[in-house]
Structure 1
Amino acid sequence: MKKRVGEYLMDSLSTVGVEKVFGVPGDFNLAFLDDIVCRDDMEWIGNTNELNASYAADGYARLNGISAIVTTFGVGELSAVNGIAGAYAERVPVVTITGAPTTSVEEAGKFVHHSLGEGHFDNYRRMYKEITTAQGYITVENAQTEIPRLIDAALAEKRPVHLHLPIDVAQAEIDVQMPYAPAEMINQDVSKYTQMIVEKLQTAKQPVIIAGHEINSFKLHRVLEQFVNQTQIPVAQLSLGKGAFNEENDYYMGIYDGSIAEEDIKDYVNNSDAILNIGAKLTDSATAGYSYEFDIDDVVMINHHDFKMNETITSEISLVNMLNGLLNINYKNTSNFPGNKQSRKADYVINKEPLTQENYFKMIQNFIGLDDVILAEQGTSFFGAYDLNLYKDNTFIGQPLWGSIGYTLPATIGTQMSNLYRRNILLIGDGSLQLTAQDISTMIREDLKPVIFVINNDGYTVERKIHGEHQSYNDIQMWDYKLLPAVFGGKDKVAVHDVETSEDLQETLMNINNEPNRMHFIEVKMHVSDAPEKLDAIGKAFSKQNS
């Protein structure tokens, strides 16, 4: 069957569930975009810039399982680099497609626009090599091998891939031998490693599982919960990967974040004689500056292509195979462990006094619905939100490893478009909002209906808590945030709310619930120095780490 290369590429992406494609048009991708907008099974979502498009693609992939972004050569693909690097760090599979100059222009070494004016065309591809798990230059001859290879790599590693697609190649016809089908997972014999783990558990008096972000990336929630229910080993989550384990499960203890964790959780984990680290990375932000008290060399590391127990180290075993293999072990824990003390219904004060961070997050706790998607921006919002207690069907999204502020606003476009029927709640601060605010217009154009809480506390509070609390570099220009929906064309579409007290917030939350079919934009004013307790502690840890 004759098809254009661009058409074959989009057919292949459709096969793995990509229904929305994010990006920005440019002259080196325009003709290729025709192969997207003409389809009945796919929709083009134009963003306000390529960085925001990469964030939106990241958010879409976290829920959908894979996503795609299209940029133009040079200026576009480099604008997306930050977002793609974040997807690489946090294991999010994004197919990054660069519309490039024609092969004849490249072969002639012409000084074309968007190049560096030196006749070279591989500069940007080489930059992407460090932040993608696989890269490919698509030609007419290799399209039917390279495109499947790259999509399979994104799915297998849960990381971005980069396709360099000359515009003449995208339009060229090929004779498609057979439609793309995803590669089947290779089943590996992991019995050698699971037996080692069983032997360690059998002598343990206080075993624990630390769960993290790779569980979310590989969609292993059901398998992990089955393993926990069988073995009755308690689970602590890291903030990096919150949502990896069902917080309604009886074996869930709570968040472990080093020295600032709840005392009983901290004591239990620090004194455990068998820590199974499953899909987790013990980063500085997740452990309050590496403040864990256990010996990390004694931890059993069970991550994707990264298994370590004592002197046994291998990069050959996948997390999927390893966790499935653990379902076959014969072990049951009998030790006592601390239960989850966080309540899904918090007590808070209602009055006319200025709203505090503590009261704000208690009220947000009560506002969360059964299957809401909660996005928490790195900074005040994330450090206040990761202690929220979730329902089984909630999804929690942050970016604490890469930590690029502004990420969650465009990511909300992606998460909301992956499922229009789930309510998306975005918790973001004023400093972060100012980085990516333009894509509020994309939300309005696409008729999305998230609930956006913007904390207006006059600057970069997370940075103030680390260093320079009163320095001008942590200040930002004050905006009239409530006018933004109107500026972006949503005056009659978006419900705007002004919150200064807990009374205001209570009324606003009731109004949001009474109007679920509208986008809501809430400006929440709080004092510049007020911060969640965890942020104060993390700020001190980071300050010490940087000194």
Structure 2
Amino acid sequence: MAECTVGDYLLQRLREIGVRHVFGVPGDYQLEFLDQIEATDGIEWVGNCNELNAAYAADGYARLNGIGALVTTFSVGELSALNGIGGAYAESVPLVSIVGTPATFVVRDRQTVHHSTGDGDFSHAAKCASEYTVAQALLSRDNAAPEIDRALSLCWLLKRPVYIMLPADVAGQPIDAPAQPLELPEPTSDPVKLAKFVHQARDLLGASGSVAVLVGHEVDRYRLSSPVIGLAEALGAPVACLSSAKGVFPESHELFVGGYAGALSDPYARTAIEDAECLITVGCEFTDSTTGGFTQHIDPQRVIELHPAAATVAGTCHSHVAMRDALEALAGAIRPTAAVTQSLMGHDSGYGVRADPAERLVQERFWPLLGTFLEPGDVVIAEQGTSYFGGAAIPLPRDCSFIGQPLWGSIGYTLPALLGSMLAAPDRRHVLLIGDGSFQLTAQELATVLRLGLNPVIVLINNDGYTVERCILGPEAAYNGIAPWRYDKLVEAFDPADRAISVKVRTEGELAAALDAAAANRDRLVFVEAVMDRLDAPESVVRIGKAFAAADYHHAPV
């Protein structure tokens, strides 16, 4: 058999499963592996400003690409990245975290080396990583091939991060090269259990006078939008999405009724979901931030619940039922209900608005105005907080994607995630919506975006601090304030090649002109700083803030 090195084996497998970019920061325990990356055709090294940003970037990349990877160095680097790995775990994003570790003889002899705690125990960081990954592997020459294949297979199957430790003296060791491409597993069904599920589901559907479909983020992770559309069309049923799955079902489809967020929903969408006699939830996870603080009113006894490897009907769980099989089986067993379809076609969100040139920017009108800028195929990345809730209300044109982090909610995530999403889908326009507080956490990654010649549209909401936190508690408290920055000058400092356009807007007319400039300059990064009042927030943010305050502190903010 042909030979390769351990590092080359890992890179070949990554390339086979679709990884074309690897994010990270160099460190001396993984430099030989970085040499191998640079020598590998089809995989490009992307150096980040810090390891946390690298993890965020790999996450954004994986959401569009299907899987992502990052490389950090032992302990100091990997722990910096761990918050990003935790976010990927929470949000079901498949990432391969590769950590260069000290040589095997260093660990064996318990040497006191840099980046260690000095106690001879080299397992501290690995123990932390094990809490946020579904597989861990310490590579050696003897086990490298099966351990790499095992970890990557679980990453793909479970859509969560895995952790691979590559000792400095192992990356270059020779092993047998792969004889065949890696076969990636998918969830499968037990035929008997699938049949029992379908029988019970059909009974519930047959006894129900109305049916609706609610879509969650697992549909996106397992790339099941088409089967969901097929099921909805077979049913002729109204469809809503949790904000974590925004854009997964086409919002221009005649069956789409809007986003569902419990009490924060549009009344039309809320009625369609909560009053349906049978509700099919597909890949849904109900969290406080996607349900208006757990304000959903859904009776489990009338729910058919589909997840990647199990399904539930009226509280009865059927294990080993794959979501894809369940969707296709139900769609094939149902006759279309044209009357339901017709009743939805007259629904109009009424979200359109025209700019008033002299009016100051306010949240209530800002998001509808921004919605007129979006085009089919855009990728919208919305930072947790004001930007996420405001962006979630914008109707998306066809073939758009929406990226956010509503469960983990780590502020600063989206700017590095933008870097990743642009490298995963370079032919699409990417629009970042981010607040000033979040931007300050990861602002330096803007320099990487510019260094790589990428051309996003970045809309920064400057409302003088953490407005979403002010809506929860401490509206005038010092802890919710941030240092004022001259954001337009910061862009200039990061842009020695003069590739960016930076504008500051305060009125609707100025915003309209800035968005026109962005549409006319697609070959340049366009940075729009939109200035709004400190306590101005979308109504959904005000209401979710009160819900969080009641849950966390047992009172609403003053």
Relative to the length of structure 1, the TM-score reads 0.97
Equivalent of residue 348 in structure 2, options 312, 330, 341: 341
> Per the alignment, in what secondary structure is the counterpart of residue 539 of structure 1?
helix
> Per the alignment, in what secondary structure is the counterpart of residue 452 of structure 1?
strand
CA distance in 2, matches of 1:315, 1:34: 45
Match of 1:10 in 2: 11
CA distance in 2, matches of 1:513, 1:217: 30
> Is the contact made by 1:265 and 1:338 (CA closer than 8 Å) also made in structure 2?
no
CA distance in 2, matches of 1:177, 1:539: 53
CA distance in 2, matches of 1:254, 1:433: 29
Identity in percent: 40
Could you tell me how far 1:186 is from its partner in structure 2?
5.7
Q: Larger deviation: 404-413 or 222-231?
A: 222-231
Could you tell me how far 1:306 is from its partner in structure 2?
4.2
Q: Larger deviation: 374-383 or 310-319?
A: 310-319
Could you tell me how far 1:228 is from its partner in structure 2?
1.1
Matches within 5 A, 1:426-441: 426-441=432-447
Match of 1:517 in 2: 523
Could you tell me how far 1:319 is from its partner in structure 2?
2.5
Equivalent of residue 318 in structure 1, options 299, 322, 328: 322
> Per the alignment, in what secondary structure is the counterpart of residue 466 of structure 1?
coil
Q: Larger deviation: 279-288 or 309-318?
A: 309-318
Matches within 5 A, 1:321-470: 321-333=325-337, 336=340, 338=344, 340-342=347-349, 346-470=352-476
Equivalent of residue 295 in structure 1, options 274, 296, 299: 299
Question: In the alignment, residue 283 of structure 1 is paired with which amino acid?
Answer: T
Q: Determine if the alignment matches structure 1 residue 506 to structure 2 residue 512.
A: yes
Match of 1:104 in 2: 105
Matches within 5 A, 1:102-181: 102-181=103-182
Q: Larger deviation: 445-454 or 261-270?
A: 261-270
> Per the alignment, in what secondary structure is the counterpart of residue 115 of structure 1?
coil
CA offset digits 1:481-524 (Å, max 9, x no partner): 11112222346111111111001011111111111110111111
Question: In the alignment, residue 196 of structure 1 is paired with which amino acid?
Answer: Q
Could you tell me how far 1:469 is from its partner in structure 2?
0.7
> Per the alignment, in what secondary structure is the counterpart of residue 71 of structure 1?
strand
Match of 1:91 in 2: 92
Match of 2:49 in 1: 48
CA distance in 2, matches of 1:292, 1:222: 26
Contiguous gaps of at least 5 residues in structure 2: none
Could you tell me how far 1:372 is from its partner in structure 2?
0.6
CA distance in 2, matches of 1:113, 1:316: 47
> Is the contact made by 2:156 and 2:184 (CA closer than 8 Å) also made in structure 1?
no
Could you tell me how far 1:97 is from its partner in structure 2?
0.3
CA offset digits 1:455-474 (Å, max 9, x no partner): 00000000001111111111
> Per the alignment, in what secondary structure is the counterpart of residue 170 of structure 1?
coil
Question: In the alignment, residue 199 of structure 2 is paired with which amino acid?
Answer: Q
Could you tell me how far 1:184 is from its partner in structure 2?
4.4
Q: Larger deviation: 20-29 or 197-206?
A: 197-206
Could you tell me how far 1:476 is from its partner in structure 2?
0.5
Residues paired across the two proteins, number: 546
> Per the alignment, in what secondary structure is the counterpart of residue 245 of structure 2?
coil
CA distance in 2, matches of 1:116, 1:411: 31
Match of 1:249 in 2: 253
CA distance in 2, matches of 1:420, 1:241: 22
Could you tell me how far 1:368 is from its partner in structure 2?
0.2
CA distance in 1, matches of 2:315, 2:504: 58
Q: Determine if the alignment matches structure 1 residue 485 to structure 2 residue 491.
A: yes
CA distance in 2, matches of 1:274, 1:511: 48
Q: Determine if the alignment matches structure 1 residue 192 to structure 2 residue 196.
A: yes
Q: Larger deviation: 356-365 or 43-52?
A: 356-365
Q: Larger deviation: 346-355 or 149-158?
A: 346-355
> Per the alignment, in what secondary structure is the counterpart of residue 197 of structure 1?
helix
CA offset digits 1:10-60 (Å, max 9, x no partner): 011001111110000001111110011112211100000010000000000
> Is the contact made by 1:211 and 1:238 (CA closer than 8 Å) also made in structure 2?
yes
CA distance in 2, matches of 1:144, 1:85: 26
CA distance in 2, matches of 1:123, 1:137: 14
CA distance in 1, matches of 2:59, 2:494: 23
CA RMSD, aligned part only? 1.6
Q: Larger deviation: 128-137 or 422-431?
A: 128-137
CA distance in 2, matches of 1:223, 1:197: 17
CA distance in 2, matches of 1:477, 1:177: 53
> Per the alignment, in what secondary structure is the counterpart of residue 461 of structure 2?
strand
CA offset digits 1:59-108 (Å, max 9, x no partner): 00000001110000101111111111111111111111001111111111
Q: Determine if the alignment matches structure 1 residue 308 to structure 2 residue 312.
A: yes
> Is the contact made by 1:428 and 1:453 (CA closer than 8 Å) also made in structure 2?
yes
Q: Determine if the alignment matches structure 1 residue 237 to structure 2 residue 241.
A: yes
> Is the contact made by 2:241 and 2:260 (CA closer than 8 Å) also made in structure 1?
yes
Could you tell me how far 1:193 is from its partner in structure 2?
1.0
Question: In the alignment, residue 127 of structure 1 is paired with which amino acid?
Answer: C
Q: Larger deviation: 298-307 or 120-129?
A: 298-307
> Per the alignment, in what secondary structure is the counterpart of residue 388 of structure 1?
coil
Q: Larger deviation: 287-296 or 22-31?
A: 287-296
Q: Determine if the alignment matches structure 1 residue 542 to structure 2 residue 548.
A: yes
CA offset digits 1:114-152 (Å, max 9, x no partner): 122111122222211221121111111111111111111
> Is the contact made by 1:206 and 1:268 (CA closer than 8 Å) also made in structure 2?
no
Q: Determine if the alignment matches structure 1 residue 472 to structure 2 residue 478.
A: yes
Relative to the length of structure 2, the TM-score reads 0.95
- Taking structure 1 as reference, are residues 69 and 174 closer, same or farther at Cα in structure 2, changes over 3 Å only? same
Q: Larger deviation: 480-489 or 180-189?
A: 180-189
Could you tell me how far 1:267 is from its partner in structure 2?
2.3
- Taking structure 1 as reference, are residues 9 and 371 closer, same or farther at Cα in structure 2, changes over 3 Å only? same
Match of 1:263 in 2: 267
Equivalent of residue 536 in structure 2, options 526, 530, 533: 530
CA offset digits 1:163-192 (Å, max 9, x no partner): 011111111111225144223436422222
Could you tell me how far 1:277 is from its partner in structure 2?
1.1
Match of 1:207 in 2: 211
> Is the contact made by 2:5 and 2:175 (CA closer than 8 Å) also made in structure 1?
yes
Question: In the alignment, residue 535 of structure 1 is paired with which amino acid?
Answer: V
Question: In the alignment, residue 452 of structure 1 is paired with which amino acid?
Answer: I
Question: In the alignment, residue 232 of structure 1 is paired with which amino acid?
Answer: G
Match of 1:183 in 2: 184
CA offset digits 1:409-465 (Å, max 9, x no partner): 000000001121111000000000001001001001111111000000000000001
> Per the alignment, in what secondary structure is the counterpart of residue 354 of structure 2?
coil
> Is the contact made by 2:234 and 2:337 (CA closer than 8 Å) also made in structure 1?
no
Match of 1:495 in 2: 501
Question: In the alignment, residue 382 of structure 1 is paired with which amino acid?
Answer: Y
Question: In the alignment, residue 9 of structure 1 is paired with which amino acid?
Answer: L
> Is the contact made by 1:23 and 1:47 (CA closer than 8 Å) also made in structure 2?
yes
Q: Larger deviation: 58-67 or 310-319?
A: 310-319
CA distance in 2, matches of 1:130, 1:451: 36
